Amino acid sequence: MVELRRYERTRIDISVEFTTAGSAARNAGLAKDISVGGMYVETPHPATFNREVVVHVLLPGQRAPFALPAVVRWSRAGEGMGLQFGLLGARETHAITELTKAP
C-alpha cells in the first residue's frame, strides 16, 4: 500500500464531537490519531466522503476546546472516517505540533 500522507500521525485516544456542514447536530467520536494534516475518528455514524465537518476537541495541555475544520477523505459505515484538516489557526497548529512531538 502506498502511503500518501504528508505528515506522520501520532496515536491518541480523545473524545471528540463533530458537526457536518449545514447541521448543528453534534455526533460523538473518538480520535485515534492526529497530525497537522488530519485525524482519524472512530464513530458509528461517520460523515460521507468529501463532506465538510468541524471537529470539536479539547487537546491535551489546552485550556479551551478547538473547532477544527476538515473534509472527509474516506469513510466506512459503522467504523469511522479519515479527515484532512482545512485552514488551521496558529494556536491549533501549535497545539497539534506539540502533541505530535510528545514522546
Spans of all domains in the chain: 10-101
More confident residue, 54 or 21: 54
Q: Which amino acid is at 102?
A: A
- Listed in sequence order, the residues at least 6 apart from 86 whose beta carbon sits closer than 8 Å to its beta carbon are 52, 69, 70, 71
Task: Calculate mean pLDDT across residues 13-26.
Answer: 94
Q: Which CATH architecture has domain 10-101?
A: Beta Barrel (2.40)
For the stretch 36-66, pLDDT in tens is 999 999 999 999 999 999 999 999 989 999 9
Task: Calculate mean pLDDT across residues 9-27.
Answer: 93
User: What was the pLDDT predicted at 6?
Assistant: 63
